[in-house]
Amino acid sequence: MKTVLIVDPFSTGKLYAPLLNAQGIRCIAVISTRALPEHFTNDLIAENFHEVYHWEESLLITLETLSLSAVIAGCETAIYLTDYLTELLRIPGNSRITSDLRRNKFSMQQALKKHQLAHIDSYLLSSPSRIGEVVAKLEESATYVVKPLNSAATEGVVFAQGKGEAETALRNAAWQQKNDLGETNLGFIVQSFIAGPEYVVDMVAFAGTYIVASVCKYTKIQKNGSMFVYESLDTLDPQAAELHPLIDYARQAAAALGVQVGPIHMEIIWSDAGPVMIEAGGRLHGGIAPLLFQQVYHPDLLSLSIDSYIGEPSPQVKTVSQISHGRIGFFCSEENRTFDLPAPLAIQSAQADEAYCGHRYFIGPGDTTPLTIDFATCPGLFWLQSPSALQLDASTANLRKKLWC
């Protein structure tokens, strides 16, 4: 029986073990650090694993006896330990020499620059002592993005107009504080703001050959004083001719980041000058997206990622086929109010919609709804799938009316 190790099987990393078990593959879990927050570790489904360990160096002796076939990175926090273990246990994986390129937002931009690919000019600050020096280099009227080096999603990201707002953002930043991943912020970067539509490209590496597993596009709206409220994420056809420049760039960027095995989740702005990577992670797409992709693409992201990790050959086709249309819709709160669930009849009506796949709230009854200005303040979402793209629009309007009012 094959045995695989999954480091930090949280977030969408929890989706691996059931599929591996169904193939007769035994799964072992290793939790990278005891500092991980509860909202991560509560994702652990212990019954999916033969053993669950907490990482310490002495565990290597045990792991060496297991004849592991693969080490899988479950989520962002797993990257460094996964690469370390694949090297020490002599298992095919990604080099720990390049781990930083898949986790550190400054290092990944430097890698793009080194390979002469489109990148974002970035200033690195490892301590507040550099604020004055960096701010002096900024322009008065330009727009900047200030973000932590090693956070996830939009946590700690601030948009700043001109050097004055950038300085304020840096002085108010969470220096040396724990982020949502339970990690200490290692520093901050200031980047030029890149305008344009935002895409997500998910790929899977088979010994450095990149299979495009999904392409999605965000729709953003201006609301609640923010220009960056996310309304929806729509799946696209990766084989569409108009997406070739985006996909060609994404593959080159993945190579620059040293990805040899497993999934890579890449966020890209398609600016007037062409595609440019915002950031990337050596993991699955987060949230419910991998489950939606199972209904939209063939082969799908999850199955391809498992095949890559356990050493199956690369598919002959380098871009997956779109077999349906999918959308994730994000709820938006326009006021602070006490939240309550919709009436049971409204929920039943929403669930009867022909494109409905599911919905989820990030707040509970009695909570105060946040004013939605970004991903972090989104109160919930729903997801849809249909052979008809037009049906997605009709179902979106229906579900927003039934599930958020």
Tens-digit pLDDT profile for residues 355-367: 999 999 999 999 9
In this predicted structure, what is the pLDDT of residue 91? 97
Mean pLDDT for the stretch of residues 97-117: 96
Annotate 194-260 with DSSP letters as a single string: --S-EEEEEEEEETTEEEEEEEEEEEEEEETTEEEEEEEEEEE-TT-GGGHHHHHHHHHHHHHTT--
In 3-state terms the chain splits into helix, strand, coil percentages (rounded to 5) of 35, 30, 40
Annotate 36-99 with DSSP letters as a single string: S-HHHHTT--GGG-SEEEE--TTHHHHHHTS--SEEEE-SGGGHHHHHHHHHHTT-S---GGGG
In this predicted structure, what is the pLDDT of residue 358? 98
In this predicted structure, what is the pLDDT of residue 396? 98
Residue 152 pLDDT level (bands cut at 50, 70, 90)? low
Q: Which domains does the chain have, with CATH numbers?
A: 3-91 (3.40.50.720), 121-192 (3.30.1490.20), 198-403 (3.30.470.20)
Tens-digit pLDDT profile for residues 273-321: 999 999 999 999 999 999 999 999 999 999 999 999 999 999 999 999 9
* In the predicted structure, residue 225 carries a pLDDT above the cut 70: yes
Residue 177 pLDDT level (bands cut at 50, 70, 90)? confident
In this predicted structure, what is the pLDDT of residue 376? 82
- Provide the mean pLDDT of the chain: 94
Rounded CA gap, 157 and 169, in Å? 9
DSSP letter, residue 368:
B
Q: How far is residue 330 from each of residues 365, 373, 397, measured CA to CA in Å? A: 18, 12, 12
Give the residue from 5, 140, 9 showing the smallest Cα distance to 64: 5
* In the predicted structure, residue 156 carries a pLDDT above the cut 90: no
Residue 154 pLDDT level (bands cut at 50, 70, 90)? low
* In the predicted structure, residue 116 carries a pLDDT above the cut 80: yes
Tens-digit pLDDT profile for residues 194-212: 999 999 999 999 998 999 9
Contacts of 382 (CB under 8 A, 6+ apart): 328, 329, 331, 350, 356, 357, 358, 359, 360, 399, 403
C-alpha of 280 from chain center: 8
Q: How far is residue 69 from each of residues 25, 63, 86, 333, measured CA to CA in Å? A: 10, 11, 10, 46
Question: H or E segment at 382?
Answer: strand 380-386
Please name the amino acid found at residue 335.
E
Helices marked H in 89-181: 105-114, 131-135, 162-171
Cβ 268 vs Cβ 198: under 8 Å: yes
* In the predicted structure, residue 339 carries a pLDDT above the cut 90: yes
In this predicted structure, what is the pLDDT of residue 181? 76
